[in-house]
Amino acid sequence: MSCRWGTELWDQFDNLERHTHWGIEFVEKYTKFVKERSEIEISYAKQIRNLSKKYQPKKNSREEDEYKYTSCRAFLMTLNELNDYAGQHEVMAEDLTTHIICELTRYIQELKAERKSHFHDGRRAQQHIENSWKQLESSKRRFERDCKEADRAQQYFDKIDADINVTKADVEKARQQAQMKHQVAEDSKNEYLTFLQKFNKEQNAHYHTLIPHIFQKLQEMEEKRIERVGESMKTYAEVDRKVLPIVGKCLDGMTNAAESIEPKMDTKHVVESYKSGFEPPGDVEVEDYSLSMRRTVSESSYLNSQGESKPSRSNSRGKLWPFIKRNKGSGPEDCSHLPPEQRRKKLQAKINDINKEIQKEMDQRDALSKMKDVYIKNPHMGDPNSVDPRLEEICQNIDKLQLDARKYEAWLVEVETRLAEKISMLLVFTVALHVVSPDGSYTEDHSTEHPLKSRSTDFDDDFDYEDPLPTIGTCKSLYPFEGQNEGTISMTEGELLYVIEEDKGDGWTRVRRNEDEEGYVPTSYIKKKNMACMIS
């Protein structure tokens, strides 16, 4: 389709001026739209970052202990991925500003200057042709006036010449006046014809050369403006598309974090955190006061007897410690106020801290020793004896820390020995619970020997004979996807796949390539079609 403003809109100067002004306003309007979108992305990214920061664990707080649980670690991973997700929105805002807003702002200034130049040339050409027309009109009116005056002079001469009473001199004077007027009219006619020829020539150039050239420039400017807006709109979409893979990785990271949660491991950590190491209390023995027998209490009972017929209140409360809230104090140095298992963990943590301090002091000692050697070899750099007081202090600290470490290690060995004895007793008790057959022979209960193995076998058998899911439609991949996680499937761009299970709200669709290859792909990476229910 071909059109030329210069020939088809030769008389629409004012309308073209209004239209091109509207075109610039449209570019400014689109630039403002992109700017507001960029501000939204920045604000959104800031809020997302603040949200992620708000729920990050505080240093040196109790929340740090919570992150030994897989669910808490998964939440932390989700917060980190969310922070990266916010970063992608900042990238979008930056790209929108750099590639669209700044570019269009600069282009609008160039566009205004170019438009102003073209219409300045157009107005100058319009003014020139108007001036030429005014000159033509002026010469025409002058020619008309001179002709009328020449006619009046001729009529006067004819009247005088016919009058016999007029002197010859008056007749000659009238004749000369008529001739002069005729000459003036002839000169005006020649001038008029000259201006007419000039105007026609300039008018032809104006409407067939100057104005078409200016309007053609305006048309090219307008087409370039429209093309530039189209490119900006394409860039606008590409800015979004550019971050999609990284956003997808952030979402995959959140999914992986959720899949890394292990409930059994978390419940095991609960045991490690709160296990006391005590055995449950045994049965309370009968106390028959009618026989005046001494009261006896099993060693594992809640009641505590020290050979007296009536236990003291303080001793009995000492045995009931698991159900009594104690004051949160530091306790004795050997942590004997804690349950065995908690005491073991506390002592081990203390030993680890002491070993770290020892290593730190030893590093300082080695550094000072090297410094002293340098001073000995280069006396001008410093006095070797100046290092000795600090070296002696560090050596004393190391000796003290090593003494403390041996002390805590001795307490730890004591606790571990007692725990090992209790474990041995528990094993003996477990062996005593083996089943004895009716004929008196010894047998073992194999029903609980390998429960996980039998369950796994049953699951595998069910899985092997499970019918394949029917095809419910087809889809075409929009982007390539590398299915690196278990349960996913890779695909290339433009590949046709069969849909066997729709997205259930988690962002994944199950597809099949052939009888042996099936798995999940991101729903946003495919375009579904022919989704009517089908029986394969």
Q: Distance between CA atoms of 265 and 273, rounded to whole angstroms?
A: 12
Q: Distance between CA atoms of 525 and 309, rounded to whole angstroms?
A: 80
Question: Residue-wise pLDDT tens for the chain (536 aa)?
Answer: 567 898 888 889 899 999 999 999 999 999 999 999 999 999 999 999 999 999 988 876 666 677 788 999 999 999 999 999 999 999 999 999 999 999 999 999 999 999 999 999 999 999 999 999 999 999 999 999 999 999 999 999 888 888 888 888 888 898 899 999 999 999 999 999 999 999 999 999 999 999 999 999 999 999 999 999 999 999 999 999 999 999 999 999 999 999 999 999 888 888 877 777 666 777 887 777 776 544 444 444 434 434 443 443 434 334 443 443 444 455 678 777 677 777 788 888 889 999 999 999 899 889 888 888 888 888 887 888 888 888 889 999 999 999 888 888 888 888 788 777 766 665 555 555 444 444 444 444 444 343 333 333 333 443 344 567 888 889 999 988 888 777 889 999 889 999 999 888 778 899 998 878 899 888 888 998 876 544 33
CB atoms within 10 A of CB 26: 13
- φ, ψ of residue 218 to 5 degrees: the values are -65, -40
Question: Strand 526-529's sheet: what is its strand order?
Answer: 518-522, 508-512, 496-501, 473-477, 526-529
Q: Nearest-5° angle of CA 99, CA 105, CA 106? A: 90
Distance of CA 353 to the CA centre of its chain: 40
Lookup: tokens for 231:
């490119």
> What does each C-alpha distance from 129 to 15, 155, 202, 206 come to in angstroms?
19, 39, 7, 7
Cβ within 8 Å of residue 511, ≥6 positions away: 475, 489, 491, 497, 498, 499, 500, 518, 519, 520, 521, 526
Number of helices (H), then strands (E), in the chain: 12, 5
Q: What is the CATH number of domain 473-529?
A: 2.30.30.40
Q: Distance between CA atoms of 254 and 260, rounded to whole angstroms?
A: 10
Per the CB < 8 A criterion, the answer to whether 308 and 380 are in contact is: no
Q: Which CATH number fits domain 5-266: 3.40.50.1860, 1.20.810.10, 1.20.1270.60, 1.10.287.130?
A: 1.20.1270.60
Query: Which burial class, exposed, middle or buried, applies to 490 when counting CB atoms under 10 A from its CB (0-12, 13-18, 19+)?
Result: middle
CB atoms within 10 A of CB 260: 12
Q: Distance between CA atoms of 210 and 204, rounded to whole angstroms?
A: 9
Per the CB < 8 A criterion, the answer to whether 118 and 221 are in contact is: yes
Which residue(s) pair with 142 in the sheet? none
